[in-house]
């Protein structure tokens, strides 16, 4: 066999034919690989686009919340301007914050309710020279979910809010939220809690104050205050004729 015949014989062997047959298959593999890479890039592009859209929606929602909060604060400032009969610009000296953002020393009073609805209550810290409630350091407008606190009382570090007025006002807000209507809340403010000890006025002996003071006294008991402690502190703010009502509530909280 000459050299040309040997080469021809080699080219006809199966293994060499196989190599020739595999060349088109290798090209197909490359094409498939490129297709997978393309689809992967498209998938990542789609996911990135969806994330961008989600981020945009979140930003828009955030802006919406900010606008709603700004509107709410403007309405509260307008109310405070009229209620406190303030001079122009004086309302800007009143600090506004949500109950969930209260300083740490006030958080235990908020947390005692286990009620997330109260997180949205607005606290207005009113400078002393604008305060209109005399010695009473706090008040609430439950329908507006608004609590006013005298600034010097609010900022006291030593024995801050020892009588837990914030708890009392939050209880008003909760009672309003639990009422079937604003009218029911107002009606309960005019209904005696205890008919056998009623006086000329329904304050403090009414159903709403019964609820608020009971919450307040329960909290003080949990904080280690005894019955006499409570009576001593509350005597700074109320008259002798109010104490049959308070003693009735304290009987329920501490026992007779």
User: Average pLDDT by consecutive 10-residue portion of the chain (256 residues)?
Assistant: 49 47 53 65 71 70 72 93 94 96 94 96 97 94 97 84 95 98 97 95 97 98 96 93 97 94
Q: Are residues 201 and 184 in the same domain?
A: yes
Q: Are residues 103 and 58 in the same domain?
A: no
* pLDDT reported for residue 61: 64
Q: Which of these, 125, 4, 26, 27, lies nearest to 76 by C-alpha position? A: 125
Q: Are residues 98 and 32 in the same domain?
A: no
Cβ 135 vs Cβ 237: under 8 Å: yes
Q: What are the backbone angles phi and psi of residue 192, rounded to the nearest 5°?
A: -65, 140
Residue 211 sits in which domain range? 84-254
Q: Are residues 131 and 194 in the same domain?
A: yes
Q: Are residues 99 and 114 in the same domain?
A: yes
| Last residue of one domain, picked from the residues 51, 83, 115 | 83
* pLDDT reported for residue 20: 47
Q: Which of these, 87, 92, 61, lies nearest to 76 by C-alpha position? A: 92
* pLDDT reported for residue 5: 53
Q: Are residues 98 and 70 in the same domain?
A: no
Q: Are residues 137 and 240 in the same domain?
A: yes
Q: Are residues 106 and 145 in the same domain?
A: yes
* Residue with token string 């308070």: 246
Question: Whole-prediction pTM value?
Answer: 0.74
User: Domains in the chain: how many in total?
Assistant: 2
| Last residue of one domain, picked from the residues 46, 67, 83 | 83
| Last residue of one domain, picked from the residues 83, 101, 124 | 83
Q: Are residues 98 and 6 in the same domain?
A: no
Q: Are residues 199 and 168 in the same domain?
A: yes
Q: Are residues 46 and 159 in the same domain?
A: no
* pLDDT reported for residue 48: 76
Q: Are residues 212 and 241 in the same domain?
A: yes
* pLDDT reported for residue 16: 44
Q: How many whole angstroms separate alpha carbon 209 and alpha carbon 143?
A: 15
């Amino acid at each position: 066999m000459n050299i040309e015949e040997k080469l021809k014989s080699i080219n006809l062997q199966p293994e060499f034919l196989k190599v020739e047959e595999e060349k088109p298959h290798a090209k197909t593999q490359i094409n498939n690989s490129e297709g997978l890479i393309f689809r992967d890039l498209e998938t990542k592009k789609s996911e990135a686009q969806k994330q961008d859209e989600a981020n945009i929606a979140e930003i828009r929602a955030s802006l919406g919340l900010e606008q709603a909060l700004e509107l709410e604060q403007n309405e509260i400032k307008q109310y405070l301007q009229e209620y406190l009969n303030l001079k122009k610009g004086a309302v800007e000296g009143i600090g506004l914050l949500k109950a969930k953002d209260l300083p740490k020393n006030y958080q235990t009073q908020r947390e005692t309710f286990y009620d997330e609805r109260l997180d949205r209550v607005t606290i207005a810290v009113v400078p002393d020279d604008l305060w209109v409630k005399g010695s009473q350091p706090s008040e609430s407008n439950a329908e507006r979910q608004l609590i006013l606190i005298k600034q010097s009382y609010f900022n006291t570090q030593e024995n801050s809010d020892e009588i837990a007025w914030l708890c009392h006002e939050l209880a008003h807000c909760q009672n309003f939220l639990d009422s079937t209507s604003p009218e029911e809340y107002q009606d309960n403010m005019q209904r005696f809690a205890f008919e056998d000890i009623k006086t000329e006025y329904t304050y403090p002996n009414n159903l709403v104050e019964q609820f608020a003071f009971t919450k307040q006294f329960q909290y003080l008991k949990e904080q280690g205050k005894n019955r006499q402690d409570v009576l001593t502190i509350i005597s700074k703010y109320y008259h002798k004729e109010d104490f049959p009502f308070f003693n009735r509530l304290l009987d329920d909280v501490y026992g007779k």
